[in-house]
């Protein structure tokens, strides 16, 4: 009987949540108060308060255990779903990036905000999703990762009408954030869409701004990329030394330059075209 009651209570808590716990406790408390008023017995009132406290504590413990259980179940299902998506990617080709434009603003404490606009063309019929991988250049503690906010939306490449897509994010064990956009209607071969990603990343550039260490800002090309623009806005009043990563100074396809920004911040701007699959290009910055 006790096991049946606990099972029923667990199902009840899963449906009603904390509101159900509060309603039940208030109901018991109200009944005890009415009984104490009718009988005029202080011991009944005290016993009612103790009983309500014990019941509420037990309900909250069951509710917490139930939520932990369902979180684990959801995490397991998401892992299986991600593995299925990776299996689809292994069959390639899947998509190619026509243009990649990224602007990252770095604050003095190392916090960053990035706006990424990517134009993607499908290289297969029935392309169900697009994946983007982001990460800092250092082994960032989990307390920072828990505060990262990434939002994505998808529009038609030729216009501004939104494409129905579901956003998913996953953290890999190596600290890389994967942002997935799952299309409700898979893309046909040759279809193009624009993917916009807004990322707020606390402490991403802490080694650069706080520890005063060199920091890398790179893009690794998956399928061949036709056009790249990556702009890093330094903290107000700061300038930096910069070195190329993945290309030579005389490479006509890639260029790296420093210029003042519109709001007074110094901008380090990387541009590239016709980048090959697997190529990693970027810049190493160190504040002066």
State how far Cα 260 lies from the chain centre: 31
pLDDT in tens, 186-227: 888 988 999 999 999 999 999 999 999 999 999 988 778 899
240-245 and 280-287 beta bridge pairing: antiparallel
Measured over the CA atoms of residue 51, residue 55, residue 58 and residue 60, the dihedral's sign is negative
Domain 95-287 belongs in CATH node 3.40.50.2300: no
95-106 and 225-233 beta bridge pairing: parallel
The token pair at 95 is 């998509």
- Give the per-residue pLDDT at 161: 73
Total number of residues shown for the chain = 288
- Give the per-residue pLDDT at 88: 63
The token pair at 58 is 């037990």
The CA distance from 285 to 233, in Å, is 11
143 compared with 88, residue with greater pLDDT: 143
Cβ atoms of 256 and 283 within 8 Å: the answer is yes
**With 60 as the cut, is the pLDDT of residue 8 above it?**
no
What pLDDT band is residue 84 in, cutting at 50, 70 and 90?
low
173 compared with 76, residue with greater pLDDT: 173
36-50, 147-161, 168-182: least confidently modelled range: 36-50
Cβ atoms of 181 and 166 within 8 Å: the answer is yes
- Give the per-residue pLDDT at 141: 86
| 3-class SS of residue 53 | helix
The CA distance from 130 to 117, in Å, is 13
- Give the per-residue pLDDT at 233: 95
149 compared with 30, residue with greater pLDDT: 149
C-alpha dihedral, 92 to 95 to 96 to 97, nearest 10°: -140
CB under 8 Å to 146, separation ≥6 — which residues? none
Nearest CA to 284 out of 231, 218, 229 is that of: 218
Per domain, the residue ranges of the chain are: 2-89, 95-287
The CA distance from 244 to 207, in Å, is 19
- Give the per-residue pLDDT at 254: 93
Measured over the CA atoms of residue 181, residue 184, residue 186 and residue 187, the dihedral's sign is negative
pLDDT in tens, 12-71: 555 554 455 555 555 555 555 555 555 455 665 566 566 656 666 666 666 666 667 666
CB burial class (10 A; 0-12, 13-18, 19+) of residue 209? buried
Helix axes 2-39, 42-89, angle to 10 degrees: 150
Cβ atoms of 120 and 156 within 8 Å: the answer is no
| 3-class SS of residue 254 | strand
State how far Cα 276 lies from the chain centre: 28
The CA distance from 206 to 199, in Å, is 16
């Amino acid at each position: 009987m006790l096991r049946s009651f606990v099972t029923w209570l667990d199902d009840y808590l899963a449906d009603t949540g904390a509101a159900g716990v509060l309603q039940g406790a208030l109901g018991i408390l109200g009944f005890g108060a009415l009984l104490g008023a009718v009988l005029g017995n202080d011991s009944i009132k005290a016993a009612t308060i103790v009983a309500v406290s014990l019941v509420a504590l037990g309900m909250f413990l069951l509710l917490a255990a139930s939520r932990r259980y369902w979180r684990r179940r959801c995490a397991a299902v998401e892992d299986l779903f991600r593995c299925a998506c990776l299996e689809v990617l292994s069959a390639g080709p899947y998509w190619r990036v026509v243009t990649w434009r990224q602007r990252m603003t770095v604050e003095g404490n190392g916090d960053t905000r990035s706006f990424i606009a990517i134009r993607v063309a499908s290289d297969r019929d029935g392309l169900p999703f697009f994946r983007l991988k982001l990460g800092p250049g250092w082994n960032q503690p989990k307390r920072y990762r828990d505060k990262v906010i990434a939002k994505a939306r998808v529009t038609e490449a030729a216009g501004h009408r939104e494409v129905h897509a579901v956003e998913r994010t996953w953290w890999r064990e190596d600290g890389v954030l994967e942002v997935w956009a799952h299309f409700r209607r898979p893309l046909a071969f040759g279809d193009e869409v624009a993917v916009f990603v807004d990322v707020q990343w606390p402490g991403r550039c802490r080694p650069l701004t706080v520890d005063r260490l060199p920091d890398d800002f790179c893009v690794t090309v998956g399928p061949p990329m036709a056009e790249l623009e990556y702009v890093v806005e330094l903290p107000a009043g700061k300038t930096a030394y910069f070195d190329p990563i993945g290309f030579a100074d005389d490479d006509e396809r890639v260029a790296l330059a420093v210029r003042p920004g519109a709001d007074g911040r110094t901008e380090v701007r990387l541009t590239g075209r016709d980048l090959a699959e697997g190529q990693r290009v970027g810049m190493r910055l160190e504040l002066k």
